[in-house]
Amino acid sequence: MLKRFGLALRIGLCLSASTYALAAETFHVLSYNVENLWDDEPDNTNVVWRKFLDSLSPDDRDSVGNRPLQYKDYAIDTSNWYSPEVLDAKIRHLVEVIKLAGEPEILALQEIESAGNESHVFDMHGSKLVLREEFEKMGYHYFILGAQNKKNPVAVTQAIISKLKVTEAPSVNIEFEDEPFSTSARDIQVVEYKEGENRMLIFNNHWKSKMGGRKTEKTRIQIAKTLKRRIEEERKSNPETRVIVLGDLNSSYTEDPILVLASGDESTMLRDKTSNLYNTWYEVPEDDRWETSYRGERQTLSAVLISDEFYLKNGIQYIDQSFHVVGQTGKPARKLLNSDGTPFRWQTRKREDFTVHVGKGYSDHLPLVLSFRIAKSSDNKSKISLSHKSDSGKILQGSKLDKVPLCTEAETVSMSDVNFDSENWFQQCVRIEGDYTLLGNSLHENNYIQFQNINIFLAMTRSWDETPNVDDSRVGFVRDLRNYNRSNKCFHRKVLRGEGGVLKKAVGRLGYDEGNIAVFIPTRQEKDIVLSGLPEFKQAACPWN
Alpha-carbon distance of 146 to 377, in angstroms, equals 35
Determine phi and psi for 412, rounding to 5 degrees.
-90, 130
For residues 335-357, average pLDDT: 95
Res. 12: pLDDT tops 50: no
Write out pLDDT tens, residues 440-487: 978 889 999 999 999 999 999 999 999 899 999 988 655 566 789 999
- Helices H, strands E: what count in the chain? 9, 26
Q: Spell out the residues 6+ positions from residue 180 whose beta carbon is closer than 8 angstroms to its own.
A: 60, 63, 152
Burial readout 257-269 (b: 16 or more C-beta within 10 A, e: otherwise): bbbbbbbbbbebb
Alpha-carbon distance of 363 to 138, in angstroms, equals 21
Q: Kindly report which listed range (164-173, 319-328, 396-405) carries the lowest average pLDDT score.
A: 396-405
Res. 250: pLDDT tops 90: yes
For residues 176-180, average pLDDT: 71
Do residues 12 and 157 lie in contact, with contact meaning Cβ atoms separated by under 8 Å? no
Burial readout 151-178 (b: 16 or more C-beta within 10 A, e: otherwise): ebbbbbbbbbbbbbbbebbebbbbbbee
Q: What is the mean pLDDT of the chain?
A: 90
Give the model's pLDDT for residue 21: 53
Give the model's pLDDT for residue 393: 64
Do residues 360 and 423 lie in contact, with contact meaning Cβ atoms separated by under 8 Å? no
Determine phi and psi for 511, rounding to 5 degrees.
-165, -150
Do residues 347 and 361 lie in contact, with contact meaning Cβ atoms separated by under 8 Å? yes
Res. 217: pLDDT tops 50: yes
10-19, 241-250, 394-403: which has the highest mean pLDDT? Answer: 241-250
Do residues 29 and 106 lie in contact, with contact meaning Cβ atoms separated by under 8 Å? yes
Res. 540: pLDDT tops 70: yes
Do residues 336 and 100 lie in contact, with contact meaning Cβ atoms separated by under 8 Å? yes
Long-range contacts of 347-351 (CB under 8 A, 24+ apart): 347/512, 347/514, 347/515, 348/73, 348/514, 348/515, 349/514, 349/515, 349/516, 350/514
Confidence band, pLDDT 50/70/90 cuts, at residue 396? low
Nearest to 205 by CA among 152, 155, 160: 160
For residues 82-109, average pLDDT: 97
Give the model's pLDDT for residue 241: 95
Give the model's pLDDT for residue 10: 39
Give the model's pLDDT for residue 371: 98
Alpha-carbon distance of 365 to 326, in angstroms, equals 10
For residues 312-328, average pLDDT: 96
Confidence band, pLDDT 50/70/90 cuts, at residue 175? confident
Res. 9: pLDDT tops 70: no
Determine what percent of the chain is predicted with pLDDT higher than 70.
92
Confidence band, pLDDT 50/70/90 cuts, at residue 380? confident
Alpha-carbon distance of 344 to 531, in angstroms, equals 28
Q: Which helix (H) or strand (E) holds 144?
A: strand 142-145
Give the model's pLDDT for residue 180: 65
Q: State the alpha helices, DSSP H only, in 300-360.
A: 330-336
For residues 365-376, average pLDDT: 96
Higher pLDDT, 221 or 215: 221
Res. 356: pLDDT tops 90: yes
Give the model's pLDDT for residue 425: 96
Alpha-carbon distance of 120 to 39, in angstroms, equals 6
Give the model's pLDDT for residue 398: 57
Nearest to 158 by CA among 183, 116, 186: 186
In sequence order, what DSSP letters do the residues of 55-93 get, joined into one string?
TS-HHHHHHHTT--SS-GGG-TTTB-TTSHHHHHHHHHH
Do the bridges between strand 297-299 and strand 400-401 make them parallel or antiparallel, or are there none, so unpaired?
Answer: antiparallel
**Ordered domains of the chain (ranges, CATH):** 26-401 (3.60.10.10), 412-539 (2.40.50)
User: Can you point out the beta strands (E) in 332-487?
Assistant: 348-351, 354-357, 368-375, 400-401, 412-414, 429-437, 448-451, 454-460
Alpha-carbon distance of 362 to 341, in angstroms, equals 14
pTM surpassing 0.85?
yes
Res. 5: pLDDT tops 70: no
Burial class (CB in 10 A: 0-12, 13-18, 19+), 420: middle
